[in-house]
Chain A
């Protein structure tokens, strides 16, 4: 998996000559720069590059391999005049002033920016507004202000990627620098779960690149083998959600779409409940299936129930009715805004209850990100097959967790037609917040003539485009490349 990003970089100068006696501006110059190779030794290392303005009196042929002015006269540390941070373009203007008593007798022709006093990162010859070469003589009656402006431009993503601000703020304004951390993530769920790890950074100033490399083999958050405190539920044959990776996150740099084109095979062992209902409960959020085999024989008579986001209205799915939704604030908040803050919890409190009816049973997911103090959220699920039946606890107390910030998934499979969800939060001495809380119905595969038996093996071939599946032997080599270029 590889993602490449290309912020562009440009610098210009504006020079203002003021008569020290009259205060009038008597001359203006400018300078469009050449970005020198040297700057990339600084940028790929996330080092400073713009602390000084260096000026000189030389002339010659501009060359990006130069590291000095043609004839340096002096330098001064520059201070910020203006900083604009935005996407896609940011700019950072710093200036120096040559006072009336300073550097007199020199005829200035060239300027550059640098992090140091001699070597330079950009180089420019001074011109007038029409681009004609201009020389500026420093005299005791002249105050010269030299403004250097750096522009940084980021490409706009067209495929769902997102820039973060740390890299931009380093390039424009000398903010802190991005860390060497990569994460795999998914946009398939609202809470966008991710798992990160430290990566190895390598830099190449000639190629203008900074690369991060690492190998993911972590099953904790993403993928079929998602387990542990993040994953709760009761599913047929203990199936886990397939959460494909479709984003590579470089902390502080951006969330980058990944490219992938390949097949994934899903093997299901049919449960007794599924055989009785002649349905297969899938563990992914799509029906773009290329081939289905039952015990090695290709079948083509399959079809799917509707699937997608569920916001607790009866209008969303033809086979599902919402029988009751409590007015507890939590349920109203998470359903309507996908967010809830408990406030301080002093005792166990009821937070919501819903009763649902589905002709097809439930292939049901709740996912969210949580920030927890010492308060804990629980979900009880009860089912029944007929309206007059008593509720039977299907599973109790899902969602217990410790004091941490992380992602949660609750995945329920049942062929029963009635489902009741009862949520409560237990006391501690803190609070908790739920972010990007989302309910989802996954597809259920049905058949026109095929009859499933308990223990049948169903093999599904699915084509993945721009999402990387996780198998049981999951190792994923990840590389993110930051390619710094001149432009704008």
Chain B
């Protein structure tokens, strides 16, 4: 399960938990690829 917080380019902030390798913004539908290591613009944290 991957967990983290994302601020989408559309401005929507959200927390996610997912077994998938991506998460889709609930506001604009943009797909965010998830990695186990966090990146500067997505702030994901894998567990």
Complexed CA–CA distance, A89 and B15 (Å)? 12
Interface size class of B (residues with CB under 8 A): 10 to 19
One of A81, A86, A89 near B18 (C-beta < 8 A): A81
Q: Are B23 and A85 in contact (CB under 8 A)?
A: no
CB B13 to nearest CB in A, in angstroms, measures 7
B12 A86 Cβ-Cβ under 8 A: yes
A91 CB-CB contact with B under 8 Å:
yes
Contact with B along A49-92 (1 / 0, CB 8 A): 00000000000000000000000000000001111111001110
Residues of A within 8 A of B15 (CB): 83-86
Q: Is the CB of B20 within 8 A of A83?
A: no
Complex: A34 Cα to B4 Cα, angstroms: 32
Q: Are A83 and B18 in contact (CB under 8 A)?
A: yes
Residue in contact with B26 in the complex, picked from A80, A81, A91, A173, CB distance below 8 Å: A91
A82 engages B26 (CB within 8 Å): no
Q: Choose among A82, A86, A89 the residue that contacts B17 (Cβ–Cβ < 8 A).
A: A82
Q: Which residues of B in the span 1-47 have a Cβ within 8 Å of any Cβ on A?
A: 1, 12-20, 23, 26-27
The CA of A90 and the CA of B13, in the complex, are separated in Å by: 11
Judged by DSSP, the binding face of A is strand
Q: Which B residue sits closest to A90, measured CB to CB?
A: B26
Cα–Cα distance between A82 and B34 once the two chains are bound (Å): 13
CB-CB under 8 A for A83 and B12, given A89-B26, A90-B26, A91-B26: no
**Using Cβ atoms and an 8 Å threshold, which residues of chain B touch A173?**
17
Q: Pick from B12, B23, B26 the residue with the most CB of A within 10 Å.
A: B26
Nearest A residue to B18, CB-CB: A82
Distance of A90 Cα from B17 Cα, bound (Å): 12
- From known contacts A90-B26, A91-B26, infer whether A84 and B20 are also in contact, taking CB-CB under 8 Å: no
The answer to whether B14 and A86 touch across the interface, beta carbons within 8 angstroms, is: yes
Q: How far is the CB of B42 from chain A (nearest CB, A)?
A: 14
Question: Complex: how many Å from CA A173 to CA B14?
Answer: 13
> What residues of chain B lie closer than 8 Å to A86, measured between beta carbons?
12-15, 26-27
Tell me the nearest residue of chain B to A169, going by C-beta.
Answer: B15
Contact partners of B27 in chain A: CB under 8 A: 86, 89
Select one of B12, B13, B19 contacting A82, CB under 8 A. Answer: B19
Residues in A neighbouring B19, C-beta threshold 8 A: 80-82
Alpha-carbon separation in the docked complex, A86 to B28 (Å): 13
What residues of chain B lie closer than 8 Å to A80, measured between beta carbons? Answer: 1, 17, 19
Which residues of A lie under 8 Å from residue B26 when comparing CB positions? 84, 86, 89-91
Q: CA A86 – CA B16 in complex, angstroms?
A: 9
Residues of B within 8 A of A89 (CB): 26-27
Q: Which residues of B contact A84 (CB under 8 A)?
A: 14-16, 23, 26
Evaluate contact between B14 and A81: CB separation under 8 angstroms: no
Q: Which residues of A457-471 are within 8 A (CB) of B? A: none
- Please state if A82 and B14 are interface contacts (CB–CB under 8 Å): no
Q: Which of A82, A90, A173 has the most CB of B within 10 A?
A: A82
Chain B residues positioned under 8 Å from A90 (CB to CB): 14, 26
Identify the closest chain B residue to A172 (Cβ): B15
CB-CB contacts below 8 Å: A247-272 with B: none
Residues 76-113 of chain A: 1 if any B CB is under 8 Å from the residue's CB, otherwise 0?
Answer: 00001111111001110000000000000000000000
How far is it, in angstroms, between the C-alpha of A458 and the C-alpha of B15 when the chains are bound?
Answer: 55
Please name all residues of chain B whose beta carbon is closer than 8 Å to the beta carbon of A82 when the two chains form the complex.
16-20, 23
Kindly state the separation between the CA atoms of A91 and B20 in the bound complex, as whole angstroms: 15
Write out the residue numbers on chain A whose beta carbons fall within 8 Å of the beta carbon of B17: 80, 82-83, 173
- Docked pose: A81 CA to B20 CA in angstroms: 8
Q: Closest residue to A80 on the B side, CB-wise?
A: B17
CA–CA, A136 and B27, complex, Å: 32
Q: List the B side residues contacting A91 at CB < 8 Å.
A: 26
List chain B positions with a Cβ less than 8 A from chain A.
Answer: 1, 12-20, 23, 26-27
Q: What are the 3 closest A-B residue pairs judged by CB atoms, nearest first?
A: A86-B14, A82-B18, A83-B17
Known: A82-B19, A85-B16, A89-B26. 13 other contacts (CB 8 A): A80-B17, A81-B18, A82-B18, A82-B20, A82-B23, A83-B16, A84-B15, A84-B23, A84-B26, A86-B13, A86-B15, A90-B14, A90-B26
